[in-house]
Chain A
Amino acid sequence: KAGVTQTPRYLIKTRGQQVTLSCSPISGHRSVSWYQQTPGQGLQFLFEYFSETQRNKGNFPGRFSGRQFSNSRSEMNVSTLELGDSALYLCASSLQDQSSYNSPLHFGNGTRLTVT
């Protein structure tokens, strides 16, 4: 069974630009969650989508948004990029939503975003 696939693997953008990251979950998984990982803050929850609906959102500004399609694939968008947005963005999928019992997350390889 194929794992979680994230594209692209690496991105370099300049301040003020916007970026879209893509995630294809494990087949059959309906929940997709996004995390930001930085050396100082660790893994920070961005948002979760389940059946095309945002279920939960972390403490990030409105510049960070996402969506999920009917095939469970998800995209994350960051507008007006800032230097501090440089991070590893990880997508994870699970069978059920995060509040469900026994529904661990399975992570993709991540997208490394560098903002200059």
Chain B
Amino acid sequence: QKEVEQNSGPLSVPEGAIASLNCTYSDRGSQSFFWYRQYSGKSPELIMSIYSNGDKEDGRFTAQLNKASQYVSLLIRDSQPSDSATYLCAVNLPELTFGTGTQLKVEL
């Protein structure tokens, strides 16, 4: 069965710290990887996409992809209370399949 796995958390980090969110997937043939952020009561919002092995940076966010290990991660630098949300990893399997999400709490 094709799957996307995430630790459900909650992951608690102090304000200003680096939050590290991880995701593994089952299909070696996957080509597209996305991170979405979902605030409570809202719909998912795309924050990062990555297609090649290595790192991709966008502001405070860095996505990392390792296709050999079937692993994708999201780093959030200088975490802010407004980053508190559920982060969803999505992989094309080939339909876009979502993990159950990791709840991030950024504490003052």
- Please list the residues of chain A having a beta carbon within 8 angstroms of any beta carbon in chain B: 33, 35, 41-43, 45, 48, 56, 58, 90, 98-99, 101-110
* Min C-beta distance of A61 to chain B, whole Å: 18
* Cβ-based interface call for B96 (8 A): yes
| B97–A104 CB distance below 8 A | no
- A43 contacts B32, C-beta separation under 8 Å: no
Interface residues of B (CB under 8 A from A): 31-32, 34, 36, 42-46, 49, 51, 88, 90, 92, 94-101
Chain A residues with CB under 8 A of B44: 43, 90, 107
From B32, B42, B45, B98, A102 is in contact (CB under 8 Å) with: B32
How many inter-chain contacts with C-beta < 8 Å in the A-B complex? 52
Q: Which of B46, B51, B101 has the most CB of A within 10 A?
A: B46
Q: List 13 A-B contacts (CB under 8 A).
A: A33-B96, A45-B96, A56-B95, A58-B95, A99-B95, A101-B32, A101-B51, A102-B49, A103-B32, A104-B32, A104-B49, A105-B34, A108-B43
Compute how far the CA of A108 lies from the CA of B46 in the bound complex, rounded to whole angstroms: 12
Q: How far is the CB of A83 from chain B (nearest CB, A)?
A: 22
**Within 8 Å CB of A106, what residues of B?**
46
